[in-house]
Amino acid sequence: MITEKTKEQEMLVKVIRDFAKQEIAPVIDQYVHNGEFPTEIIQKLGELGVFGIQYPEEYGGMGEGMVCFSNVLEELARVDASVAAIVMANSSPLTILSKFGSEEQKNKWLAPIIAGKGIASIGLTEASGGSDASAMKTKAIKKENGWMINGNKLFITNSGNELNKFSVIAAATGTENGKKQTSSFIIPRETPGYVVGPKIHTIGWQAADSRELTFEDANIPDEYLVGEQGTGVKQLLTSITYGRISIAACAVGVAQGAYEEALEYAKIREAFGHQISKFQGISFKIADMATKIESARLLVHKAALLADKDEDFRKESSMAKLYATEMAMSVVQDSIQIHGGIGLSKEHRVSKMLGDAKLLEIVEGTSEIQRLTISKLVGC
């Protein structure tokens, strides 16, 4: 299942690796300290074409697929999970538009974001529902020549910064055969009744921007409905399944960064007259970290490759997300253990990674949801 990168893909990954080291690493802590969104960094990534890696060339994308995109996300998360999360979250609404949007929607909304002219957000999660899409309370009522939307969305990444152009949101649109009908809508940022709440401060992804969105009689035209009415669940599940690969790739990146920090520290820290890397208790821990990371990377690669071949990748996507995120949490904890007291300092990278890893375990479906999904797909 392993495929070699093309020369173009290798070049792109190297460009992003160098960019992360030179453009992100030296300044990202300033954004976190000042509570600012890393606008310049995201704009530069847009100019590099990162937003269009996996999307068709006819809309300005590179057409490289999920294997390449997951490699890029790993490189970004290796240096900072916030930036990787912003890029990942931006891909979710773009995936829906790419897979289900009309030609007009793709040209009007998808192509400009691919070209780096802003970012987008996706609105699914609600305070009362969490992973239960059937509990959605946001409603879209059909009006003459359009829709009126009312409701709230919570923890919506990319929704409150100056680069945001629109959100793709899920809303209930009545019932069909006794079941709640869900549809997806494009809601431009400037829509009257589109209210953006204050930034939600989380334990990880601290430079990212997550908010509550409130829709108060927000009226949009018919052409902002994505696909057919009532097909929202299929669209959202497709986006989530792709998103789980992206989250898993970010987890591999976070773990790789934590592992490299631990290995470097273990080689320079001395105790009892020896480098601590020479102690079996430390060297075995580092060996386990390296093995877990490589295992997770292979799971991500398999899921991404199946997605690129247009085969069923739901099981592999959930497996990659489950294993990689729990692995990242384990590796970061081990890295902190190796660092000892200095690893507990808020100023040290590995302490920040702990919050980043925990968020990765939760978003796009918790570990419990992944186990539920996998158990069904293997026939339980």
CATH number of the structural domain 120-233 = 2.40.110.10
Q: What is the pLDDT of residue 1?
A: 62
Q: What is the pLDDT of residue 132?
A: 67
CATH architecture assigned to 240-377: Up-down Bundle (1.20)
Q: What is the pLDDT of residue 33?
A: 86
3-state secondary structure the chain: CCCCCCHHHHHHHHHHHHHHHHHHCCCHHHHHHHCCCCHHHHHHHHHCCHHHCCCCHHHCCCCCCHHHHHHHHHHHHHHCHHHHHHHHHHHHHHHHHHHHCCHHHHHHHHHHHHCCCCEEEEECCCCCCCCCHHHCCCEEEEECCEEEEEEEEEEEECCCCCCEEEEEEEEEEEEECCEEEEEEEEEECCCCCEEEEEECCCCCCCCCCEEEEEEEEEEEEHHHEECCCCCHHHHHHHHHHHHHHHHHHHHHHHHHHHHHHHHHHHHHCEECCEEHHHCHHHHHHHHHHHHHHHHHHHHHHHHHHHHHCCCCCHHHHHHHHHHHHHHHHHHHHHHHHHHHHHHHCCCCHHHHHHHHHHHHHHCCCCHHHHHHHHHHHCCC
Domain coordinates in residue numbering, the chain:
7-119, 120-233, 240-377
Q: What is the pLDDT of residue 68?
A: 97
Q: Which of these is catalytic: 64, 361, 364, 368? A: 364
Based on the residue annotation, tell me whether 364 is a catalytic residue of this protein.
Answer: yes
Q: What is the pLDDT of residue 180?
A: 85
Pick 7-119's CATH classification: 1.10.1040.10, 1.10.287.3510, 2.40.160.20, 1.10.540.10: 1.10.540.10
Global pTM reads 0.95
Which residues of the chain fall below pLDDT 70? 1, 130-134
